[in-house]
Chains A and B, each alone.
Chain A
Amino acid sequence: MTPAGDGIERAPEAPLTLRVNGEEHTLAVRGHDTLLTVIRERLLLTGTKAGCTNGDCGLCTVLVDGEAMYACLMFAARCGGRDITTIEGLARGAVLHPLQEAWIQAGATQCGICTPGMILTAKAFLERVPRPSEVQVREAISGTLCRCTGYMKIIEAILLAANSGAPQPAPAAASGH
């Protein structure tokens, strides 16, 4: 513990440079600060939602070097130099990402609290498996919970986004299902 300027004892901080949605941020973080805490409370990117903060619900999913990760289970200090994408980084101004458009078209958002994490999970998945089967979609999103939709329209949205993209053959690894 070290007393900071305000005289309050806190865990020591170390400088960290994070690249979030293409923008670099240099800030001081504590060893136990999670990526979720830093994204929401330091960078004030509140589109990333905090649910269980325990690796149980998937609400806080962000992309770290293109891979869907639970931000609540990652220490921010280990994310230096890695490319982080949050939901705020998907649309280009008012032009939405095809997944976001598909979400709207299919009616895949209700309360919306799982939507950011679910869309990012889907993005990472479709980049890996551009033409998935329904079963593959179900498996891909099984780490993120949703109580509103029963997942049906979320699955529909992901398949819609996959099918609306430019036609491309499914990679061999994914076609055996």
Chain B
Amino acid sequence: MRAYRVVGQRVARIDAREKVTGHALYADDVILPGMLYGKVIRSPHAHARIVHIDAGAALRRRGVKAVVTGRDFPDVKFGFTKPTQDRRALPIDKVRYIGEGVAAVAATDKDLAAEAADLVRIDYEELPAVFDPEEAMKPGAPRLHEHAENNVSAICRFNFGDIEEAFRVADHVREDSFSTQAIMHGYLEPFAIVARYEVVTDRATLWAAKQSPYIIYRNLARGLGMKPSQLRIIQPHVGGGFGGKHEPFDLDFSAVMLSKMTGKPVKITCDMEEVFLSAYRRHPMRIRLAVAARRDGTLLGYRCRLIADGGAYAGVGHMSIYLAGAFLSLPFKVPNLRYDADRVYTNKPFSGALRGHGIPQMRFAAESQLDALGRDLGLDPLDIRMRNRVRQGDKLANGFVVTSCGLTESLELAAEAVDWTHTHGTLRRRGAKVRGIGLGCGSLSSGSRMGGHDASTAVIRVHEDGKVHLLHGSPDVGQGSNTVLAQILAEELGLTMDDIQTTLQDSDFLIFDPGTYGSRVTFTTGAAVRTAAAEIRRQLFEAVSKEIECAPGDLICKEGRIVVRGNEDRGVSFLHGVRLCYYKETKPLMAHGSATPAEFTAHFGDPKQLTSGYGNLSGSYSFTTQGSEVEVDLETGEISVLHFASAHDCGYPINPTLVEGQLDGSVAGGLGQALFENLETVDGLLLTPNFTDYGLPTSMESPQRSEHFHIETDDQFGPYGAKESGEGTQISTLPSIVNAIYDATGIWFRHLPITPDKVVKALQETYGANYLDHPFFNDPAARRRSGGADGRGNGRSRREERA
């Protein structure tokens, strides 16, 4: 039994009071004396040469202070790895998508900045554009970047085990095609930055809505021709990230350069339509997936061809397609894998990281196909999952090592929550509405080794009054990591949450940290906090042991005191211990601790490794099973989610309320992608540039009931046994909804999103115009006979083939 006092408790967020009172400052809330307002001018063309930019009329307008274009920046490109350095601060030669920033203005107020933006005259020469990734790969297609032949920006070629043999010996194979749409992160805070360049120090201070200062540092400094140490990044609160606020954007470069040109602070806040037009998004993927299995459902191999629509720039897209392939197997054990992926440039905003990063698309394909495989073989979806599930200690074909695994329990809990045994496969119709349940699993890494400096560092200072201050480099973008880290610190020092303070990141006071991505913060930064806290204890114990004459090793921190283990009456208060350090030892009580995933994971900053795909991505992996119940209105095609049950193995929930918040948010995001959201473009022009047209779920679309089950597996690497909890459940949502829709309608949707028009069309095509009268929706026995309609398609068993 665990005896923690702060860790594991549902303590309130450390920033909650600030946030509920409106006191929390976000980037757009920062106001500086003499501040100018900037506006980015965006391309109206999907692909065009920039012929000439004439800023004369804008600059003649009173109150307009400066105009910046690509030519004002050094002639350098930046990017995630060397081969993918294809972006500039602002383009100089051509634009590659509608909405790309081309120039920016600064003026004394917002209205003037908007007017000035209209006065900048940009002459373009339109170029042929390409929007479809497969078209873009064809010879003779318009080329976006000189270096990329056939517009391929990154590839993966994985080959593990013996795929030919797997398909040769299989009892059954099937092959299916899938596609996923572009979706946005959906952060409700638009991009914003305030930049102040100081000529006397030749440094710039930035307040920006970002989730990883370090990535911004490197790329921003490079694009600006400055050294990272010339930039000071002060982190305000961030209004949502979900992977979407990593990269430096046109407004960031522009604000710094405009400040440099004018000698005044410059604020640029995008409007939401600019975010819709220009922000990076989730990769749309086309997936062709062939599976080889034994008669009993044992998975023998996957052969996968994937084409990802990368948009105009590389971003971290190589990582995205790597991740899609890396999770071709997990959470199941598949010994033979062949994965060929191409990420292709097209004339659209670029694609990048988004909650689950590349994995939800692949797992949507693989796990809805798993249900179809089960139907081919007469196996229950729960049984086929149980048969192939990974277990603790498993090593996968691509080198992943599973150090802790609660998948078995999660399958059992989620299945029970939706009453799987009695409900699945039954006809449940009321009026025009039918219900169905589905399962989906998922797994995600708990941070990964990305290359470059990768350690997290925590700095702890103990004030003379006994309060403990924590500084670290991983921004809390809403997930609650500052609270979790404070809980860890309080636990380690035997204190309460009231004794802990944190300050948001400021690069002048911190050691570089990769920041907040890939579900790494609790896992890695949490470990750093523990290391730093141990050093604080060491210093305290040394001082206290002299005072009460005992060995330092006999002392423990407990309930606000420093006491002798086993003789807890003997000791001093924590505050007294602190004062001994300061006043008797005359030493400041501070420490730092670092943690890095380097010890136990492969290095994925190396493009060669991303391409070949072998290696253990992370120290630990989380596991989820999600049970979903949906209701399909057969008349309108509308789908509502009645019930989500998420059974999640995050190792150990350091704060169950925060973990539940992560699960709720993840599954809501998955629900949006499954049923509603779409950045739909025609010839590169976005048709859905606002939340309503785009389809961001409101409270009316969120599940009517949401259940959580925390599975504790006490991971050996994570602090207090904790693993990932921020994004893994978004992976299980897509297949569990798709599978539930199949259970309700007998139709397997392989192209997202599953909108009402698609549902009605599919019902008509499958069951005829009078589909409401079809036995499938009227006769309980018909379901058992048919096993559904659309899903059977192309599976063939070895025996059939021979006959």
Contact = CB atoms under 8 A, between A and B. Distances in A.
Contacts of B272: 51-54, 56-57
Contact of B189 (A51, A104, A119): A51
Contact of B696 (A45, A87, A145, A155): A145
Contact of A150 (B187, B668, B692): B668
Contact of A56 (B111, B690, B700): B690
Nearest to A44: B31
A47 to B, nearest CB: 2
Contact of A103 (B16, B187, B189, B479): B16
Given A56-B272, A148-B478, A148-B665, A114 B22 contact: no
A90 B112 contact: no
A105 interface: yes
B703 interface: yes
Contacts, number: 185
Interface string B468-487: 00000000011110000000
Contacts of A91: 21
Interface in A129-159: 137-139, 141-143, 145-155
B698 A145 contact: yes
Nearest to B185: A147
A99 B743 CA distance: 41
Contacts of B23: 47
A88 to B, nearest CB: 5
A28 interface: no
Interface stretch (A1-9, A12-20, A73-81, A169-177): A1-9
A56 B214 CA distance: 33
Nearest to B31: A44
B665 A149 contact: yes
Given A151-B699, A153-B661, A112 B24 contact: yes
Contacts of A51: 188-190, 272
Nearest to B21: A91
B699 A112 contact: no
Given A107-B661, A150-B664, A113 B189 contact: yes
A137 B704 CA distance: 12
Contacts of A148: 240, 478, 661, 665
A104 B20 contact: yes
Contacts of A110: 240, 478-480, 661, 665
Given A49-B239, A104-B16, A109-B20, A153 B664 contact: yes
Contact of A9 (B13, B62, B238): B62
A152 B15 contact: no
Contact of B240 (A50, A100, A111, A142): A111
Given A105-B12, A150-B665, A115 B20 contact: yes
Contacts of A116: 22
B443 to A, nearest CB: 21
A104 B700 contact: no
A46 interface: yes
Contact of A53 (B271, B658, B703): B271
A44 to B, nearest CB: 7
Nearest to B670: A150
A104 B12 contact: yes
A21 B696 CA distance: 32
Contacts of B664: 149-153
B418 to A, nearest CB: 17
Interface string B157-172: 0000000000000000
A1 to B, nearest CB: 11
Contacts of B185: 147
A113 B188 contact: yes
B661 A112 contact: no
Contacts of B10: 107
A50 B691 CA distance: 14
Nearest to A135: B704
B17 to A, nearest CB: 7
A155 B699 contact: yes
Interface string B631-645: 000000000000000
Nearest to A110: B478
Interface in B172-190: 185-190
Contact of A149 (B16, B269, B661, B690): B661
A109 B19 contact: yes
B13 A109 contact: yes
Interface string B651-672: 0000001101100110111010
Contact of A147 (B108, B188, B699): B188
B21 A152 contact: no
B767 interface: no
Contacts of B26: 46, 49, 113
Interface in A52-84: 52-54, 56-57, 59
A10 B658 CA distance: 48
B239 A111 contact: yes
Nearest to A116: B22
Q: Which of A87, A104, A112, A137 has most B Cβ within 10 Å?
A: A112
Contacts of B108: 6, 8
Contacts of B669: 147, 150
A6 B65 CA distance: 14
B62 A8 contact: yes
Given A51-B189, A145-B698, A153-B664, A112 B21 contact: no
Contact of B690 (A52, A106, A155): A52
Interface in B237-284: 237-242, 269, 271-273
A154 B20 CA distance: 12
Q: Which of B18, B242, B660 has most A Cβ within 10 Å?
A: B660
Interface string B89-122: 0000000000000000000100110000000000
Contact of B706 (A10, A86, A152): A152
A108 B406 CA distance: 28
A155 B701 CA distance: 13
A8 B239 contact: no
Interface in B134-158: none
A54 B661 contact: no
Nearest to A101: B20
Contact of B188 (A47, A96, A145): A145
Interface in B182-204: 185-190
B706 A57 contact: no
B28 A119 contact: no
A46 to B, nearest CB: 4
Given A50-B269, A112-B478, A147 B665 contact: yes
Nearest to A7: B62
B15 A112 contact: yes
Interface string B720-755: 000000000000000000000000000000000000
Interface of A: 6-11, 44-54, 56-57, 59, 86-88, 90-91, 96, 100, 103-107, 109-116, 119, 137-139, 141-143, 145-155
28 contacts: A49-B188, A51-B188, A51-B190, A56-B272, A56-B691, A87-B20, A103-B16, A104-B12, A105-B12, A107-B10, A107-B657, A109-B13, A111-B188, A111-B237, A112-B18, A113-B189, A114-B188, A138-B699, A145-B696, A148-B478, A150-B669, A150-B703, A150-B706, A151-B699, A152-B664, A152-B703, A153-B664, A155-B699
List 7 tightest A-B contacts by C-beta distance, closest first. Answer: A47-B22, A111-B478, A150-B668, A113-B239, A112-B19, A87-B22, A46-B29
Given A52-B190, A148-B661, 16 more contacts: A6-B62, A6-B108, A9-B62, A10-B111, A44-B31, A49-B26, A87-B20, A103-B20, A105-B12, A110-B480, A111-B478, A112-B239, A142-B699, A147-B185, A148-B665, A152-B706
